[in-house]
Amino acid sequence: MKPKLLIIELWGVGDLAIATPFLREACEKFDVTLLAKTFARDLQARFWPAVKVIPFHAPWTAFDRKYHLHHWPWRSLFSVARKLRHEQFDVALSARRGDPRDHLLLRLSGAKMRLGYPRLGSRIFLTHPLASPDRKEYRYEDWRIAARALDFELEPRDKLRFPPRPTSRLVLLHTGAAQAVRVWPLERYLLLARKLRALGYPVRIVCDPGQAAWWKNAGEQEVAAPQSMSQLLKVLDDAGVFVGNDSGPGHLAASFGVPTFTLFGPQLPELFLPVHPAAQFLPGKPCPYKPCSDYCRFPVAHCLVDVTEAEVWPRVEAFVRAQLPPPATGSPRAESSPS
């Protein structure tokens, strides 16, 4: 019988996508349970079917008012703690850098062996503290360090392999992001779509639901605005390449084996570039406060908004040409486009 391993990853879609190689490999050695947000159940069937998911929305992962303790769902917190103890885990792990809240949950799980990157005295909750990586070390490396501590190895990012995908020449332009400071202006994405179509590449616009009206007013009638994780996964199935903001869908596309081009703003690509070996990026404008996550000190996130279409287009064109078969001479545009 395999030992039981609890993995805590309570944050976003991108964080779980980066953890995917670890989750897959861990299942070879452990009976794996993942404590994560509800959308992990949709990812489970597609990426790591052997993993058991316990859904939990930790109140401290909210964007606003995360420390209004009187609004916390204390009954749910205690219920999750009881459920974890009932599972009788042999090992529990958080690979999030220096998060004492995760480490307290590890302790409450009752696991005999508890691994994490300690901070602010959280070492007392861990039986096996991990050596903290450099703060600018790639996020995927945290999982590689944790894997070695559990006696297995993960391939480096540039050696990762993905299942073969059906041939697709479709360029997905995803214009959304969880926070506004990570959204490159929509009118500049529109210019990219026009130029790619002029070269003969089929383009599909994928966006957040709140952006759909803007795109339809701009003349895009075949806009995809997924309202659930399962809908998003179906859209990504058709992608040949993915171009978009620093957001969860780009990381999911990489997990599908789709090459990605990411426009970074407040975050650093060396921390959160999607795991596909062919992933490309534009780092955004310099700012002394980077990385600043989702809270900008300025009225506008100049690190991203000041990136012009003229700067992005040559990089995107080269990326698409390198990853997709050349368009057939005189090929019609596959999607409707404003003239």
> Is 310 inside a domain boundary?
yes
Task: Answer yes or no: are the C-beta atoms of 19 and 44 closer than 8 Å.
Answer: no
d(CA 207, CA 176): 5
pLDDT confidence of residue 336? 40
How many domains does one find in the chain?
2
- What's the domain range around 280? 171-323
CATH number at residue 204: 3.40.50.2000
What pLDDT digit, counting tens, does each position of 155-199 carry? 998 888 887 777 889 999 999 998 889 999 999 999 999 999 999
pTM for this structure?
0.86
* pLDDT above 60 for 331: no
What pLDDT digit, counting tens, does each position of 192-246 carry? 999 999 999 999 999 999 999 999 999 998 899 999 999 999 999 999 999 999 9
**Same domain as 277, residue 175:** yes
What pLDDT digit, counting tens, does each position of 50-90 carry? 999 999 987 776 655 555 555 666 677 888 889 999 999 99
d(CA 25, CA 19): 10
Residue 263's alpha-carbon distances to 72, 266, 302, in angstroms, are 34, 10, 13
Q: Which of 154, 181, 208 is the last residue of a domain?
A: 154
**Same domain as 61, residue 136:** yes
**Same domain as 115, residue 49:** yes
**Same domain as 179, residue 307:** yes
pLDDT confidence of residue 132? 80
pLDDT confidence of residue 338? 40
**Same domain as 180, residue 109:** no
Q: Which of 124, 154, 184 is the last residue of a domain?
A: 154
Q: Which of 154, 184, 200 is the last residue of a domain?
A: 154
**Same domain as 141, residue 196:** no
- HEC profile for the chain? CCCEEEEECCCCHHHHHHHHHHHHHHHHHCEEEEEECCCHHHHHHHHCCCCEEEECCCHHHCCCCCCCHHHCCHHHHHHHHHHHHHHCCCEEEEEEECCHHHHHHHHHHCCCEEEEECCCCHHHHCCEECCCCCCCCCHHHHHHHHHHHCCCCCCCHHHCCCCCCCCCCCEEEECCCCCHHHCCCHHHHHHHHHHHHHCCCCEEEECCHHHHHHHHHCCCCCCECCCCHHHHHHHHCCCCEEEEECCHHHHHHHHCCCCEEEECCCCCHHHHCCCCCCCEEECCCCCCCCCCCCCCCCCCCHHHHCCCHHHHHHHHHHHHHHHCCCCCCCCCCCCCCCC
**Same domain as 37, residue 8:** yes
**Same domain as 210, residue 310:** yes
> Is 272 inside a domain boundary?
yes
For residue 269, give both structure tokens. 């690509």
d(CA 286, CA 304): 9
